A and B are shown apart, each in its own frame.
Chain A
Amino acid sequence: MPGSLLMIILYLAVAVFVVGLIKRGLKIAKLPIHLRWELSPVPHEKGKASYGGSYLEEFEWWTKPREKSLLNEFWYMFLEIIFLKGVWENNRRMWYFSFPFHFGGLYLVVVAVALFKLSAFIGFTGTNTSAIASLAIGVSVIAYGLGAFGVIGLCIQRLTDPVLKPFTTPSHIINLVFLGSIYVSGLAAIFSISNYAAQMTGFIQGMVTFSPPALPGIMGLHVILASAFLIYLPFTYMMHFVAKYFTYHEIRWNDTPMPGNDKMEKEVGELLSQSPTWSAPHLKADGKKTWVDIATEEMDK
C-alpha cells in the first residue's frame, strides 16, 4: 500500500483524535462549578482514607490544618487504571475479559507503539535497534493477543449474559468488533511478514521525514484500521478515560469548602444571578426572577 497515503491517513487520525480529546476535556471542564457531592472514601484524606474518613471528623474542623495526600490519590488511580480494581472487586466475571482488554489491548499497545518509535528515532543515529524492535514485536503480540481474547469475551458476555444483554446496543458490539479487527490484522501482519519490525521502524522514520515506504497489504490494512479507530474514538463513550479524571477528582473527591474561597464564591454568585425557567407552580420561575429571587421569596401562607 502506498506509504504517503498511509501517512496522510495516520496524521489525519492523530490530529482528529488529539482535537477530539482536547474538546472533550474542555467541554467537561467548562461546565459550571457544582454543589458538593463528594463520596467517601476520599483518598487524599491523610490518615483517614483507609477507612473512608474525612476532615469533617475533626472537632471544629475549620481550625485544623487540611492534610492532603496526593500520593494516596495517585496510588488509588494507579490501581484503578492499571488493574481495574473496582471491576475486580465488584464484577469479577467481567474482569477476566475487561482486564486483558484494557491492559493488553490498550496499555500494552501504547507501550509497543512507543517502543517502535524509540527504535525508529534511535535508528536515525545509525545505531542498530533490532533488540528494541524485537521487544516491540514481542509486546505487540502479547498486546494484540490479550486484546483479542478480551474483546471476544466481552462480545460474548454482552450478547449472552442476561444481566448485560438488555443494556447492550449495536454500538457496543461494533466498538468491540472494530477493536478486534485491529488486533487480528496486527497479529496477521506480524506473523505473515517476516521483517515486520524493520518495516514498521522504517515506516515511522518515513513519517518523520515525510517519505514513508510502501507497506505490504495486510500491514497497510492494520494501519488504516487503527487510524480509523482513532478518528471514531472521540465520538464515543470510550473516551471515558477523560471523563474519569473529572468524575473522581472533580466530583467524588472534591470536598473543598466554600468559606474563604473567593474565586468559588464569585463564580457561585454569578450562577445564582441566572434566571431559571422551571414551570412548577411553587417556583413561578418566569425566566426573569433569578435563583436568589426564588430562593428568598416567602411561600404563600
Chain B
Amino acid sequence: MRTFTKGGIHPPEDKLSADKPIEVLPLPAKVIIPLSQSLGAPSKLAVEKGDVVKVGQLIAKGEAFISSNVHASVSGKVTKIEEVMDASGYRRPAVLIDVEGDEWQEDIDRSDEIKMTITASPEEIIRRIYEMGVVGLGGATFPSHVKLRLPEGKKAEYLLINGVECEPYLTADHRVMLERGEEVVTGIRLLMHALKVEKAFIGIENNKPDAIAHLKELCSDTAGIEVIALKVKYPQGGEKQLIKAVTGRETPSGKLPLEVGCVVQNVGTALAVYEAVQKNKPLIDRIVTVTGKKLERPSNLKVRIGTPINELIAYCGGLPADTGKVIGGGPMMGKALYSIDVPVVKGTSGVLIMPGAESKRMAALNCIRCGRCVTVCPMGLEPILLAQLSENLLLERAEKERIMDCIECGSCQYTCPAGRPLLDFIRMGKNKTGIMIRNRGKK
C-alpha cells in the first residue's frame, strides 16, 4: 500500500466520532464573523452597523489577489462592527450579527436535489468559487480560486483530493465522504473541469475502509477519478506528502505542487465548490468535529460560520469538569484557544477538548542527541538544528538549512524524548526568516 517515504509518525488515532452522523447545530442567538478568514490580505467591509442582512449576503469583499469574500451566515441585524478577540487572544475586526429568523437570499438553491450535470465553463466555475468565498477547508484556508488560476504557461496534470484526514480525533472529512459522497464527486468533476485535467485521485487512509468503498462505488462510472487507499501515517495530509504518496513525485524545495503538475484540494473544499457552483450557495457553514475523551457526546456538526465555540460544546454535553485546554483544529497542528467565546471560522476543522493531565507539556530537558526528530521529519530537515538556529536568530544559516520548507507538522516535537519545544522555535524562526526574505526583495 502506498504512503510517503520520508519520516512520519503514528500517533494514536482516537477517532471517537467516526460513526456519528453529521447533525445540524441549531441557529445561535448571535454570530461573530471575523473579516479576515483566509490567508492573505484582510477583506474589505461591505456592510454598516444597523444593516439588516440575509443569509448569503456579502459582508466583506476580498479585493487583493490573495484574499476572499466573506458572507453573512445568518439573517438578522448587524449590531456592531468592532475588534473582537480571536483564537490567539489578539483583537481583530469582526461583524456581529443578532440572529432574526432564517431568511436566505432568493438566488440560493436550498432544495435537496443533487445537481450532477455541469453547465458552467471553467472560467465561470473559478469566478463562482471566488464570489462564494470558498477557501481550503483543510485548515490552511488558502483561497481556492487562486490555486485554480494557473499561471501563464503552467499546466496541471493531476487533481489530488485530500481525504486523508491524518490528524487524530478529527472525523469531519470522513463523514463528508460517507454522507455527501455524490456532491463531493460532483465537486471534484467541477474542479477537474476548471483545471482542464483528465485525471483526479482521491487519497484516503485505510483506517476509513467504508469511505474508500463508498467513493470507489460512486466513481465506478465516472471516468478519470480514482480512489487510492493509503497506509496510515501522519502527516500524509500535507500537500507534498500526499503528492509523493499518490503519484510518487517529489515536489522540489521551495516550489509549489504545480511544479510537478499537481493541484491539491481537500474533500471539504470539493463539497463547498459543489455548493458554490451548482447551488449558488456561499461558504456560510462547515462541518466541525467536536470531540474529546471526557466530552459527553463527541459529534460531527454542521455549523454556521461565526457561531461561538461554546455553543458547539454546550450542544455536545457541555465543557467537562476536567478540561486542560480547548484546541481549535486537531491535536497535532491545531492551536489552543484563548477563550471558548471565539467563533467558528472557515478554517475550524475541529474543536478538541483535552483533559488536564494530557494537556500539560513535560518540562524541556537537554537534547540527548538521539536524532529521532531528524528521523521523523517528513521534509528531511534537521529540526534540532533549525530550533537552535532560530533560538539564536541565525536566520541566514536557518534559511540555508531550508527552514522555510518546514510544514509545521509537529512530528519532531511529538517525538522528542527530551520534550524540547522544537516546533515553537522553528515557527518563530520561520516567521522571522520569511520577513527577512521579503524585505530583501524590496531593496
**Are A and B a genuine interacting pair, yes or no?**
no
A-to-B contact residues, CB < 8 Å: none
